[in-house]
Amino acid sequence: MAVLNKIRQRSLFLILIIALALFSFVLTDLIKNSDALFGGSQDVVATVNGQNINRVDFMNRVENMRRQLGPSATNTQAMNRVYDQQVRRAVMTTQFEELGLTVEEDQMRDLLEQNFSAYPEFQNEAGLFDESKLTTFIANLKEANPQKMILGNFQLNYDEWVNNENSIATIAKERAYYNMVKAGVSATLNEAEVDYLLENSTRDLKYVQIPYATINDSLVEVTKADIKAYINENKKKFEVEASRDIVFVEFKEEPSLRDEEDLKAEFDDLINGKAVFVNGRNDTIMAFAQVKEEDLSNYVNLTGESAEAYNDSFVKKSVLPTVVADTLFNLNVGDVYGPYKDNGLMKLTRLVAETTVPDSAKVRHILIPFIGANRAGVDAKSEADAKVTADSVADIVRADRSKFPELVTALSSDQGSVDKGGVYDFHPSTQMVKPFSDFEFQNNVGDIGVVKTQFGFHIIEILDQKGSSKAVKVATIAKPIEPSDETIDEVFTNASKFELAIQNEDFQKMADERKLEVRPINNIKILDENIPGLDSQRPLVRWAFENETKVGDYKRFSIPGGGYAVVQLTKINDAGLMNPENASASALSEIRKEKKAKLIREKVSGTTVDEVAKNQNRPANTASAVNMKNPTISGAGLEPQVVGVAFGLKEGETSGLVDGNRGVYMVTVTKVNDATKLDNYQAIANRLSAARVNAAQTKVYNALKETADIEDNRSRFY
């Protein structure tokens, strides 16, 4: 009781203590996330030239983009697409503002007419665009906002209409901007003349090459200081984004041998038959071998719960599963083989029938599409009407086969065969869709019939058949080989035990003790999504780049397909210049080349090609018609530096030693072949101008983007 009294007496003090503790907690979180404390960019996905890309609007656009791209697209793919669009808009908006480029009201009306004149909602009785109807529609949209109204085949509200108008205006401004750029990139006649001379003026050369390969790499010492100096001299080449290196071990949820054996045991009921209790009475699962052929489809698709549907067709040996093709093809009719493994499935196969079929067939056909068929045009008939037409055409060609070609031209929608009179030359049974193939390979030469496929109704005539060989009809019950609950639990347990083991022990050591493969992945970028070997892993990438994640930290992640990866961060690579260790792969060869060039120069004596060739025991070679536009020397390869030096020499002159791509050279110009000047270079100027205009839009935008001030915060949200 005394204690309670003391608490009551000091209640104000306790409240203050609790309040201070809560304030401390909130303040710590604010400091940790300084953007929230100082009004930073927690609601800004990116800033481009001072323009913010708002998070809420951006996320709405990403969601819309995901719907457009379809179910196979990932959130990251949609996000990147929207980001590129928004950055482009911001970059170009900066240009429009600097130039004072706008779309005035009259021009906007013209643009709206161009974009919406075909909509019935904006047409008068004569089918012409009526501006007053457009004005009324926009006013009604604004009044009804945020409710949507119908326009054509879609619905939209006023805000969406405004966004659409802005997009149309932006496209118009971009078109005007790029037209101005293109007008200024035309090639002059002087440029055309230079281009002509570079391509057509040539030199005949005599040269000697001392390849860098003549000096063994082991004789050239490259120090860490050399690499650092090379990086500093070539900074742009070695600038890198921030990246992370990781290692991981994988614990896949894969079926065990016991899972496979248990699945095989389930097939015993299908091989031998089994009594079961269904709906209050005893029933029997009939043995697979005893099922009547007409009942096989239901038995395979329902009773067997097969992962593969029954295919009531004859097939050649090449179509059967490779692992058991010989065995299945040589079964007796009625025999059952299995269970056996094939492509992740456990299978049981029965040979239903065998026959002899042609090896190839030649046919001609007329395709009558119907509404809903693949590739059907807008003028396609209903299915019932298409069937009536197909039957009528079949009757006509049965009565007079000579009419077939003209009916192909008049009626067939298969553009791949119309020009050939509807003919498909000799082909195997696997080339056509099943109903088409069944008709041409299970009937006789001269037969004509109507066959329905997903493309429409085909009037088919079998023109010829070649060869014959055995074909079989099989029924296969297939079940996926999947890990059991016990196996899945065991995988989770093993992953958890490994996590515990590496708390105080070396990652590699613990993996070796458990015979687990440690796989390294280097240079993961902050916006990467797919990790080699682990597929889509945005959570992993985000974790690796969190400020709290340090080298040596580890974490378990789920992997697509089932299972886990235990990942450890091994290296943090900051943005900036590449460190010498990572740069050495590309820098070493260039540094060695420079050092080898110096060594070669020191040992070379002689002032002519022949003297150097003799001194270095190298052949003196010749090259004819070398030009500046394609600076390739026959026998030596691409050597722009050497060719450039050669074009600076007069006929008969010899260069000094020149460091090239593949070695050190000395070159003599044996003949100068100056190009004959043209009377007019306009055609060349036109060609150069066209090439520049075609490339201008992409090159200009890339240049604008490269010089833009862009702050990318996407990694905070995705």
Q: Which residue has the tokens 């499935």?
A: 345
User: How many domains does one find in the chain?
Assistant: 6
Q: Do 379 and 461 have their domain in common?
A: yes
pLDDT of residue 408: 93
The pLDDT, as a whole number, for residue 240 is: 87
Residues 527-557: pLDDT tens digits? 999 999 898 899 999 999 999 999 999 999 9
Assigned domain for 706 exists:
no
C-alpha to C-alpha distance for 380 and 390, rounded to whole angstroms:
13
User: In Å, how far are 32, 111, 171, 191 from 166, measured between CA atoms?
Assistant: 39, 11, 9, 40
pLDDT score recorded for residue 278:
44
Q: Are residues 346 and 334 in the same domain?
A: yes
Pairing of strands 423-427, 530-531: unpaired
pLDDT of residue 334: 92
CB-based contact 316:325 (threshold 8 Å): no
> What is the pLDDT, as a whole number, of residue 126?
83
Q: Which ranges of the chain have pLDDT less than 50?
A: 1-19, 21-40, 277-279
For residues 519-533, one letter each, b for 16 or more C-beta atoms within 10 angstroms of the residue's C-beta and e for the rest, the string is bebeebebbbbebee
- The sign of the torsion formed by the CA atoms of 314, 318, 321, 327 equals positive
Residue 345 in domain: yes
pTM as predicted: 0.68
Q: Which long-range contacts (CB under 8 A, 24 or more apart) does 555-558 make?
A: 556/495, 556/496, 556/499
Residue 630 lies in a domain: yes
CATH assignment at residue 597: 3.10.50
CA dist., res. 717 & res. 342, Å (int): 43
H or E segment and range at residue 489: helix 485-501
pLDDT of residue 305: 65
Q: Residue 6: what pLDDT?
A: 42
Domain check: are 587 and 508 in the same one? Answer: no
Query: Do residues 356 and 471 lie in contact, with contact meaning Cβ atoms separated by under 8 Å?
Result: yes
Does some domain include residue 374?
A: yes
Token pair in block for residue 59: 């996320």
Q: Are residues 157 and 122 in the same domain?
A: yes
- Quote the tokens at residue 366: 């007329």
Indicate whether 716 belongs to any domain: no
CA atoms of 366 and 386, how far apart (whole Å): 12
458 and 364 belong to one structural domain: yes
Domain residue limits at 512: 242-254+484-574
* d(C-alpha 293, C-alpha 295), whole Å: 5
Nearest to 341 by CA among 423, 259, 461: 259
Per-residue CA distances from 469 to 358, 559, 683 (Å): 6, 47, 63
Q: Is residue 701 part of a domain?
A: no
336 and 367 in a single domain? The answer is no
Residues 284 and 267 placed together within one structural domain of the fold: yes
- Tell me, what's the pLDDT at 26? 43
On whether both 445 and 507 belong to a single domain, the answer is no
Q: Are residues 330 and 250 in the same domain?
A: no
User: In the sheet where 554-558 sits, what is the strand order?
Assistant: 519-525, 243-252, 563-573, 554-558
Beta bridge partners of 572: 244
